Structure 1
């Protein structure tokens, strides 16, 4: 009897072992190509991954430690996050990043802005951060990142952080539609239309108050209109290619007509002469200016108080202007900043893969819905298949800084007609966005001297349009830029461009 029981027990154990082995193999096959952080390790699959994070704080107060956003993020990603929020006003955040890198006492994850500026560029190239390029293909969401963002964020083909994606064809015109209607004007379609409309806003009393107290275009020290006029002409956005060389916009033939038109509008007071010190949005929000040029989603967020105070105010947007070389939209670089992983705190590949798993999960639909729309029941309610904002809700606030993926993904949000128009323009014009070619290129001279050289040219642009510099003075400023290092930058950018494009 005992012999029979022993025999059956041995058979049973054999079946159990085979079953367990089959289950393990099945799980391994199922997880192939999945998120590494989701895979069990050493029997501690349920133990949250503990991460120290440094993140930018853009609001007056940092998110609370008992935030429902934090709880939902930690639950979905199986993490325990220790977040240091650093104010982003002025240079405070960037200074803190530089000091933290210099100290060598880095968190597991941190946000890096301006990753192509000297200090951050050197940190990436000197091995402070992990090169993520070989790993991204193994993650379902990270492997589908925008290729424009990846290319422009990379340095010599290596990506040292996850780029936070941004809309490509984002720039355009924000305009007072009620002023157009008041003067019987149509939406401008060409640069000549822009000039005529802006002149009418300056001279024909569009607000009908009987006073000559308006002007056409709000500008500030960024001279955004000049950049966009150059692109509308078919010229580069920052830097472009001409006759096989990478050149700055101000050396392109399309630039000078744009600069002269800008000067004409300053001379005729269509652009206020104090633009170098004017505060962005102020004149428009005060009802003094009829249009300005920026990212067009500003139209949906920057003027709510003005529209509440005066219900007659109507704000509209446009991107598609006909130029001599067709339609072009000034584009972004496709990303805003990097979420980087330092080598000093993340010493082995196993933890690196776990962190990439966390970041990959932040691209899941539930996380995108959370950050884009907020917490259901608190920030929005579902009505007719749309997420309708709860009046007074604050939304995701600074938690949106954790989003690297699609800003329009996740639950479908109820939007105003203006917001819907903006989204449609973004989608329709994605293929005609003109990108700054230098975003993906390296030049030692530009890293060392580019900012100072560019400032000298910008100063000359301002002096020229204000009448403080004549044609010869402008030409001399460009010649000085070239001899002081500009030609060397052109040479180095061109060499890197040819190398990257297999020439």
Structure 2
């Protein structure tokens, strides 16, 4: 509160008192004059919090942060004085490792890969604060992040960073709805019905050109894993089996092999890149894939540019022998950490900065700029701007400079795209169904130093062996032998022990 405001309040009180005294029928008061109360000095306004920061940028970096109207506005909104080092995402982890090795960490650090081995090692050595030691309940915007996301971001069962949420989502199958309807099929509710639908997409001429030139499935169909129980932790003594060692993974390979034998998948599916599968889907060559559910909306937008009647729909979770298809996602990407070299008394101020950035105002500022300067209007998360305005925004803010916490929006991957209302509603309903029925991959939140450091050399033949089983190049018995050999490997056993220890930390009895 400023001194000027305090004085105004005191003056108003005095006027009320004088008026009351003066209205006493003109009778003079004989009471002794009161000694005026001493004016309470106003507390000094807290100056900006200075914060040094290391973060990344996805594309073009800001030209000059100090002269940027966008960054100046960010400092104004958060009452901070920011000293930001921006590094391209392409070599960010390398730069972060160098800074940690040199013991030159700034006061606030962004980590894109929060489970990176070198980062986890630094955490284990005490380089970063466990933020659960601080009262996080006083930060209302951070409190909007669901407990599930906080739990998924924990390391060794502790909160070492503020996760940047990306909303709830799941991965599962999406199919060409118009193909399904043309072939008089219904949405599959069993794995057998799913297989029949995918085969029909290959053999039933869904595009109506009289040729067998469409495929039922592109990609590896990872949405099937949950239905076979692969995502349920499987423990043997003091070891946690890797997902591909489980009986359920063997069943998944059998299912995929049956599809491959029916020519449902491209012969060299394992060589295809993400851009290749997208091209096949949007050009009417393939009818299904397993991916993030919001992709059904994005694919629909693209395919309708060529065929207005075409559309993709997400499938609801399909019950299998040991669970449901699909996989729920972590709900965050990257997190902010505060080094223990920072004065502990300053940590709440840095957390306050992060809290203040997790708002529509700051998110929109960094994503779109200042209205009237960098864009004309904003509807949801879609800005109307000229090429010149976009260029100016990219120069001043950079293209995807990470200096804030994403505001939590429950279905952000869906709602940010401006899909048609019916499609958006369908996608949100499907995500809700998956969150209720599908499971997450536990290995996405667990850490094994041995796994991270030795994966490439120990498992150099793993992917090739999986492909050979899928394509029928080797038998299931040969797969079983491979798995048993890997389970007997001392290095692999060490990995499984470390994963089991991590699982126990995350799931205390």
Q: TM-score, normalised by structure 1?
A: 0.79
Aligned counterpart in structure 1 of residue 309 of structure 2, from 307, 312, 319: 312
1:294 deviates by 0.7
Q: Taking structure 1 as reference, are residues 355 and 231 closer, same or farther at Cα in structure 2, changes over 3 Å only? A: same
Would you say the 8 A contact 1:299–1:316 is kept in 2?
A: yes
1:240 corresponds in structure 2 to: 233
Verify: 1:473 aligned to 2:478, yes or no. yes
1:99 corresponds in structure 2 to: 98
Aligned counterpart in structure 1 of residue 441 of structure 2, from 432, 436, 440: 436
Q: Taking structure 1 as reference, are residues 143 and 241 closer, same or farther at Cα in structure 2, changes over 3 Å only? A: farther
| RMSD over equivalenced CA pairs, Å | 3.5
Q: Quick one: distance in 1 between partners of 2:367 and 2:286?
A: 32
Q: Deviations over 1:211-231 (max 9, x none)?
A: 222111111xxx3x1x32120
Verify: 1:493 aligned to 2:499, yes or no. yes
Gap runs ≥5 in structure 1: 1-6, 25-42
Q: Quick one: distance in 2 between partners of 1:179 and 1:110?
A: 48
1:255 corresponds in structure 2 to: 249
2:74 corresponds in structure 1 to: 73
* Mapping for residues 11-410 of structure 1, pairs under 5 Å: 11-12=35-36, 14-17=37-40, 20=41, 43=44, 45=46, 47-59=47-59, 65=65, 70-89=71-90, 92-135=91-134, 136-219=136-219, 223=220, 225=221, 227-233=222-228, 235-237=229-231, 240-242=233-235, 246-280=240-274, 281-301=278-298, 304-325=301-322, 327=324, 329-344=326-341, 347-367=342-362, 378=375, 380-381=377-378, 390=384, 398=400, 402-408=404-410
SS at match of 1:402: coil
SS at match of 1:301: helix
Q: TM-score, normalised by structure 2?
A: 0.78
1:141 deviates by 2.9
1:189 deviates by 2.4
Q: Taking structure 1 as reference, are residues 400 and 84 closer, same or farther at Cα in structure 2, changes over 3 Å only? A: closer
Q: Quick one: distance in 1 between partners of 2:376 and 2:176?
A: 30
Q: Deviations over 1:434-483 (max 9, x none)?
A: 12223444445434434554554333211211223222321122112212
1:28 corresponds in structure 2 to: none
Q: Taking structure 1 as reference, are residues 365 and 8 closer, same or farther at Cα in structure 2, changes over 3 Å only? A: farther
Would you say the 8 A contact 1:142–1:360 is kept in 2?
A: yes
1:29 corresponds in structure 2 to: none
Would you say the 8 A contact 1:327–1:432 is kept in 2?
A: yes
1:205 deviates by 1.8
Q: Taking structure 1 as reference, are residues 500 and 278 closer, same or farther at Cα in structure 2, changes over 3 Å only? A: closer
SS at match of 2:50: strand
1:242 deviates by 5.0
Instruction: Tell me which of the two structures has the higher relative contact order, counting C-alpha pairs closer than 8 angstroms and 6 or more residues apart.
Output: 2
Would you say the 8 A contact 2:163–2:405 is kept in 1?
A: no
Q: Taking structure 1 as reference, are residues 53 and 282 closer, same or farther at Cα in structure 2, changes over 3 Å only? A: farther
Would you say the 8 A contact 2:354–2:405 is kept in 1?
A: no
Q: Taking structure 1 as reference, are residues 422 and 73 closer, same or farther at Cα in structure 2, changes over 3 Å only? A: farther
Q: Deviations over 1:129-182 (max 9, x none)?
A: 232221124423334532222223222232221112244541122222222233
SS at match of 1:218: coil
Q: Quick one: distance in 1 between partners of 2:260 and 2:198?
A: 11
Q: How many residues align?
A: 457
